[in-house]
């Protein structure tokens, strides 16, 4: 039987939730507001919150100085491309680990996850030299390969977790009906795991979109995504906070909008199998 929750408890929980949400969202709100300030107002002491002369000059300057659309398209191609390739590799791998388990399955999963603990700078030099020799520096293909390899452990782990929640009896019934391995995966497994696959896809697009270390070190101009677009506003002359905020707002806006409209699917996927 579910426990009764009093009105007082609901009010306290709601207040705590709103407080946490405001604390998390406030830096984003401050960045957006700063993007509409002049440089002088942006560094004013004490800080000015709402009552200032709003201006679009920073956005105009950002557009004149660099091509936002080119960086945006690079981010889209790199994040979506690396995620799709990761899913194409991760789905068969997760299926094999979930439904044809071996004694070393858990060890393999832990080894894959442990690669995420490796400091990226530890492999920067050899990877940079490989990319230089193979002509992959400052190319979309090069970044897609790197981000696919970086996020593949997370993709396999998430898909493995979702696939484990699907009863094996259903797949065995499909095999008894004459389904081939390809038909079993495409027509039986994938439709049942759509929420998990969708949440994995969305999460990895966000991770690839926000990746800064590799995009800053392996690109120059041609394949530079929005992370490099933001970093370009840090110069030896100093930080121009208003223009930097405008660039940051333009960079995070697409992913915030996507997250807002896909939040139900994301939550559904992340809680897939949590309730029996």
The DSSP output letter for 117 is G
**Is 156's pLDDT higher than 60?**
yes
* Cα–Cα dist 221/73, whole Å: 13
Backbone angles phi, psi at 239, to 5 degrees: -95, 125
What are 262's strand-pairing partners? none
**Is 2's pLDDT higher than 90?**
no
| Domains observed in the chain | 66-232 (1.10.3720.10)
Give the pLDDT band of residue 11 (cuts 50, 70, 90). Answer: confident
Over residues 117-146, the mean pLDDT reads 90
Structure tokens at 66: 């660099």
Specify the pTM: 0.82
Q: Percentage of residues in the chain with pLDDT exceeding 70?
A: 91
* pLDDT given at position 15: 92
Q: What is the pLDDT of residues 159-184, one digit of tens each?
A: 888 888 888 788 888 888 887 878 88
Residue pair 143/218 in contact by the 8 Å Cβ criterion: yes
What are the CA-CA distances from residue 42 to residues 47, 69, 213, 234 (Å)?
Answer: 7, 26, 27, 15
Residue pair 243/61 in contact by the 8 Å Cβ criterion: yes
Computed over its alpha carbons, how large is the radius of gyration of the chain? 23
Q: What is the pLDDT of residues 187-207, one digit of tens each?
A: 888 888 888 888 889 889 988
**Is 233's pLDDT higher than 80?**
no
* pLDDT given at position 237: 56
């Amino acid at each position: 039987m579910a426990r009764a929750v009093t009105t007082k408890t609901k009010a306290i929980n709601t207040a705590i939730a709103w407080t946490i949400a405001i604390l998390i969202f406030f830096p984003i709100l401050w960045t957006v507001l700063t993007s509409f300030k002049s440089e002088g107002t942006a560094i004013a002491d004490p800080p000015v919150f709402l009552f200032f002369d709003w201006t679009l000059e920073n956005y105009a300057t950002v557009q004149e100085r660099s091509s936002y659309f080119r960086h945006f398209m690079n981010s889209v191609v790199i994040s979506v491309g690396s995620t799709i390739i990761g899913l194409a590799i991760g789905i068969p791998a997760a299926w094999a680990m979930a439904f044809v388990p071996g004694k070393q399955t858990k060890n393999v999963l832990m080894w894959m996850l442990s690669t995420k603990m490796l400091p990226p700078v530890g492999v920067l030099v050899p990877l940079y030299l490989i990319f230089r020799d193979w002509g992959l520096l400052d190319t979309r293909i090069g970044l897609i390969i790197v981000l696919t390899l970086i996020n593949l452990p997370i993709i396999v782990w998430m898909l493995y977790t979702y696939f484990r929640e699907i009863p094996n009896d259903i797949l065995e019934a499909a095999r008894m009906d004459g389904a081939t391995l390809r038909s079993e995966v495409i027509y039986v497994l994938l439709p049942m795991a759509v929420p998990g696959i969708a949440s994995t896809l969305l999460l990895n697009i966000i991770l690839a979109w926000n990746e800064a270390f590799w995009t800053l070190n392996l690109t120059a101009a041609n394949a530079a995504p929005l992370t490099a677009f933001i970093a370009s506003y840090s110069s030896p002359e100093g930080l121009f906070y208003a223009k930097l905020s405008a660039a940051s707002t333009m960079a995070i806006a697409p992913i915030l909008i996507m997250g807002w409209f896909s939040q139900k699917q994301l939550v559904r996927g992340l809680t897939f199998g949590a309730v029996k």
